[in-house]
Amino acid sequence: MSEVYLDHAATTALAPEVRAAMRPFLEGEFGNPSSRHPLGVRAAEAVERARGQVARAVCVAPRNVIFTSGGTEASNLAVLGIARAAQKHGRHVVVGPTEHACVRESALALADEGFTVEFARLDGGGALDLDDFARRLTPQTVLVTQMLANNEFGSIYPVAQVARLVRKLAPRARLIVDTVQAFGKLDCSLTELGADGVILSAHKVHGPKGAGALVVADNFAIAPLVHGGGQERGLRSGTENVAGVVGLGIAAETAEKLRSATAAQLARQRAVVCERVRSIAGARVLEPGGSVLPSIVMAIVPGAPAEVVMHHLEARGVFVSAGSACQAAKKELSPALRALGLSGDEGRHALRISLARTTTDEDVERGCAALIEVARELAAVAR
């Protein structure tokens, strides 16, 4: 029987059209985009086509797209680069309460450099506490980060409202939004969000691993982290990963084109998953703040720890995760789950099921049936 993959928040399979577009640049088209001969020119043209595709997906000019090795590098460039470039205006940074580790750890690195770094909070219902956010913003704030949708439990945050607060209370600050999980399901245009920059990662939308982008608005400085030949407007030196960039371009274009249809499909499938989870005695679905991505279900399943449930599912050919892939190796409650106010025991029973446009209704039914079966078997053993 075929395997059922329900861990798309960790990564997605490479789409056929992406693989086809990348293939020439993994085979005969091996030129360096900085070279002036025909092989180099063709490579440079491919990079610029991809830049245009990414730019159109988030409604900016192509010059505003900076290619990176993925979402982590893009986040580091945004957080460290913007804050360092703006420190003559202030050394205060406000970070969203449930940011990905690549944003959170970059901010903590700024604290080691003498910046004042504050973390916003969630309210009692798990929604972003906008009053608390507003209290933290000052005229000396130079950087604000707030993800659009959480990668562990799927909460969608009111980024446009945060943007209005930033403009009013911290006019020198730049708002950077992690859209890695949201892209392809929500509108991630800079204009819609009111953001100064967004972070993208190819492998979350059926593109290749090792390719991402920081997309920024005009007219503000970023201090580069990587120095060298001056590629990517001097903000990310190094020979471009042409095949990866081409894959990101096609993946971004396709994800945006199919966004409405994908969101509708995922919402329907998510409803089925939630219904099946709630049929398990004592199980519940985490939906903090009320507005969640259609692609993520965070289930609290009583009984055996989530990692045990996960391994029993693996034996049946069903793949989910116990929390986020980035947190799994740490064996501890993630900062995002702590921000929700979950106890350590609740966190140990948190199972993430995540869908993508390639998820079939049969995948959902088989995965849920396996989860219900495993939960019953483990409950019987516990008795």
Q: Which residues are catalytic?
A: 326
Q: CA angle at residue 363 from 358 to 365, to 5 degrees?
A: 140
Distance CA(375)–CA(283), nearest Å, equals: 10
Q: CA angle at residue 326 from 325 to 328, to 5 degrees?
A: 60
Closest to 147 measured CA to CA, from 281, 300, 272, 324: 324
CB neighbourhood size of 116 (10 A) = 14
CB neighbourhood size of 290 (10 A) = 10
> Which conformational region is residue 268 in: left (phi greater than 0), alpha (psi within -120 to 50 degrees), or beta?
alpha
Closest to 72 measured CA to CA, from 151, 14, 8, 18: 151
Alpha-carbon distance values, 123 to 20, 132, 207, 339 (Å): 46, 9, 35, 9
Closest to 109 measured CA to CA, from 76, 132, 86, 140: 76
Distance CA(328)–CA(12), nearest Å, equals: 18
Exposed / middle / buried, residue 211 (Cβ in 10 Å: 0-12, 13-18, 19+): buried
